[in-house]
Amino acid sequence: MSAGTGLGTHGLTVSYGGAPVVREVSVTVPRGAFTVIVGPNGCGKSTLLKALARVRRPDSGQVTLHGRDLWSYRAKEAARHLALLPQTPVAPDGISVRGLVRRGRYPHHTLLRQWSPEDDAAIGFALDRTGLGDLADAKVSELSGGQRQRAWIAMVLAQRTDLLLLDEPTTFLDIAHQYDLLELCHELYRDGRTIVAVLHDLNQAARFASHLVVMKSGRVVASGAPPQVLTAPLVEEVFGLACDVVPDPRTGTPMVVPHARFPGLVHPGGSQGTP
């Protein structure tokens, strides 16, 4: 495993309405990795990400960033180290793509440091990296779903942080745009960014991630490189899904092939399903 980024949890417990959702979790985010958190609905994936992003306070345990309790940082100071793209962000009415991306520079501004050429350079880089240069003056509300999600990615890129935290970034995107977005994230990781994302699709997670964290019932049950972690017994234990795990014919990464739920199921134009 790569060295830690300085971001991690130690015995972390987080609750909603008095009920623990994340239970005594200790994880370290590997430096320079594309980490994907997976698990069944309600297992605590997004809650763990929110705790890493300083959005949810822990009931017990600790989130640390560079050896300090994350909550000892002021909000702007923390935002200069890590950027969060929430699950369903809402853009202000009438805002342009450039205007949205400009908001990523807010953590770097103080009474003594206002707008500078460095801010313009960060915005230009973010627009170029996400392929939105030609749409910089378009309204966010007029973009397609895939373009809109790229605009949000551009905003967090403009923060110029080493850590990007993405909560279900492919939600509401069609399959082509899902892969476009994940390929962009993979490129950013290959460029040296550290990315942590919550995803639902195991095959997408296995194809793009360099590091998996698997959760069940609020706890981490496995972590490591996808080929070592994503096995048929683990998928059945965590998701209750009998399957085969085979090499993806395009990438060689693990690919989950579910068994048929109903014995004797016959697929149109195909053979009888595996019981």
DSSP 136-204: TTSBGGGS-HHHHHHHHHHHHHHT--SEEEEESTTTT--HHHHHHHHHHHHHHHHTT-EEEEE-S-HHH
Can you give the pLDDT at residue 1? Answer: 33
Phi and psi for 93 in degrees, rounded to 5?
-60, 135
Q: How many Å apart are CA 70 and CA 53, to the nearest integer? A: 9
User: 176: Cβ–Cβ under 8 A, 6 or more apart, which residues?
Assistant: 146
Among 90-94, 103-107, 222-226, the range with the most confident prediction by mean pLDDT is 222-226
Domain 1-81+161-226 has CATH 3.40.50.300: yes
Mean pLDDT of all residues in 233-249: 97
Q: How many Å apart are CA 106 and CA 204, to the nearest integer? A: 33
Quickly tell me which residue has 């492919």 as its tokens.
170
Spell out where 135-224 has E strands. 163-167, 194-198, 211-216, 219-224
Please determine, for residue 255, whether its predicted confidence score (pLDDT) is greater than 90.
yes
Structure token digits, residue 66: 């560079």
Round the average pLDDT of the chain to a whole number and report it: 91
Short-list 205, 171, 200, 202, CA closest to 185: 205
Short-list 202, 198, 207, CA closest to 166: 198
Mapped onto helix, strand or coil, the DSSP state of residue 10 is strand
Residues 96-135 have pLDDT tens digits of 999 999 999 998 887 666 778 899 999 999 999 999 999 9
Can you give the pLDDT at residue 214? Answer: 98
Short-list 105, 97, 106, CA closest to 127: 97
Task: Give the residue extent of every domain in the chain.
Answer: 1-81+161-226, 90-160
Task: Say which range, 116-130, 195-209, 222-236, has the weakest mean pLDDT.
Answer: 116-130
- The DSSP bridge partners found for residue 106 are none
